[in-house]
């Protein structure tokens, strides 16, 4: 993309009042992050695999008034893939949820870098209608239903280059707000993805700004992971989280 095209693309396809230059983070298990670095591939999953029943509310609904049969909605839903990131650098909850086996590596990049690299690597002709990244909105179930309806009204009555449909994938209930989630989204308009569950793309590992290793690692395991990441091609700074590092306890009452 030329510079001016990149600017317009980022302005239109970064959704939810998200700063394109803010840092975002994702925790991978060690075996997956080694694959990302060694193969330089990134994988998005179909939203139907997400856990919350209110995820992808549009894709699971029967739509009345648009002449769409259930199979039409399911076909639209099956063309979408996503990947979850977060605005939270780290927290106890994030390590425990996304690294339950104490084998996590948190990588960081920026919204702009991730979207531009992802779009360039997919070689999609319809980037404006197929590649998005946005901040998740947290709202109660009634508001989610109304929000999805308003997004689809705008999508199908005025045409919004898939922005409305993408926006329906950026809502969760407030019980999940601690995740401060950001989602990378892709719509397979050209039927390129043969796997209905996964979409794999080339990934430029140079956009990873740093990697933070699980705070619960022991010394020997920590060094082994660092060696493995570097051998896989990781050239970004590597650190271990100090979240659980014991302080020097001293109370001087003299």
- 251, part of any domain: no
* Residue 199 vs residue 66, higher pLDDT: 199
- 245, part of any domain: no
* pLDDT of 75: 63
With a cut of 90, say whether residue 128 has pLDDT above it.
no
With a cut of 80, say whether residue 84 has pLDDT above it.
yes
Kindly report, residue by residue over 48-67, the tens digit of the pLDDT: 888 776 666 555 555 655 55
- 254, part of any domain: no
Q: What is the CA radius of gyration of the chain?
A: 20
- Give CA separation, 5 vs 74, 120, 164, 170, 206, in Å: 33, 12, 21, 25, 22
Tokens for 114? 């991730």
Please give the average per-residue pLDDT across 127-146, as a whole number.
91
With a cut of 70, say whether residue 4 has pLDDT above it.
no
Give the C-alpha separation, 139 to 145, whole Å: 10
For the chain, percent of residues with pLDDT exceeding 90: 59
Please give the average per-residue pLDDT across 133-159, as a whole number.
83
Kindly report, residue by residue over 11-22, the tens digit of the pLDDT: 999 998 899 999
- 250, part of any domain: no
* pLDDT of 157: 61
Range of the domain at 162: 3-240
Q: What is the overall mean pLDDT for the chain? A: 87
- 163, part of any domain: yes
* Residue 89 vs residue 51, higher pLDDT: 89
Burial per residue of 143-152, b for 16 or more beta-carbon CB atoms within 10 angstroms, e otherwise: ebeebbeebb
With a cut of 70, say whether residue 111 has pLDDT above it.
yes
- 248, part of any domain: no
Kindly report, residue by residue over 225-243, the tens digit of the pLDDT: 999 999 999 999 999 999 9
- 227, part of any domain: yes
- 253, part of any domain: no
Q: How confident is the model at residue 189 (pLDDT cuts 50, 70, 90)?
A: confident
Report CA torsion sign: 107, 1, 20, 137. negative
Number of domains composing the chain: 1
Spatial CB neighbours of 209, under 8 Å, sequence gap ≥ 6:
23, 108, 109, 110, 236, 237
Give the C-alpha separation, 78 to 59, whole Å: 8
């Amino acid at each position: 993309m030329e510079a001016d095209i990149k600017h317009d693309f980022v302005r239109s396809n970064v959704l939810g009042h998200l700063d394109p230059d803010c840092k975002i983070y994702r925790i991978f298990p060690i075996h997956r992050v080694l694959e990302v670095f060694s193969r330089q591939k990134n994988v998005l999953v179909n939203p139907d695999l997400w856990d919350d029943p209110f995820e992808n509310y549009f894709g699971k609904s029967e739509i009345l008034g648009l002449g769409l049969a259930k199979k039409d909605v399911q076909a639209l839903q099956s063309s979408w893939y996503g990947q979850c990131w977060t605005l939270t650098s780290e927290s106890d909850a994030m390590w425990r949820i996304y690294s339950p086996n104490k084998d996590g590596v948190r990588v960081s990049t920026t919204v702009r870098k991730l979207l531009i690299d992802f779009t360039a690597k997919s070689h999609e002709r319809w980037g404006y209608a197929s590649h998005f990244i946005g901040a998740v909105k947290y709202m109660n179930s009634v508001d989610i239903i109304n929000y999805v309806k308003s997004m689809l009204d705008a999508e199908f009555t005025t045409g919004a280059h898939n922005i409305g449909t993408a926006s329906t994938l950026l809502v969760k209930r407030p019980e999940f707000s601690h995740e401060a989630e950001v989602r990378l989204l892709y719509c397979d308009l050209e039927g390129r993805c043969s796997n209905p569950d996964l979409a794999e793309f080339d990934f430029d590992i140079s956009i990873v700004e740093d990697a933070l290793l699980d705070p619960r690692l022991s010394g020997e395991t920590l060094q082994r992971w660092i060696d493995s990441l570097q051998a896989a091609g990781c050239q970004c700074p590597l650190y271990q989280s100090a979240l659980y590092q014991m302080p020097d306890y001293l109370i001087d009452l003299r």
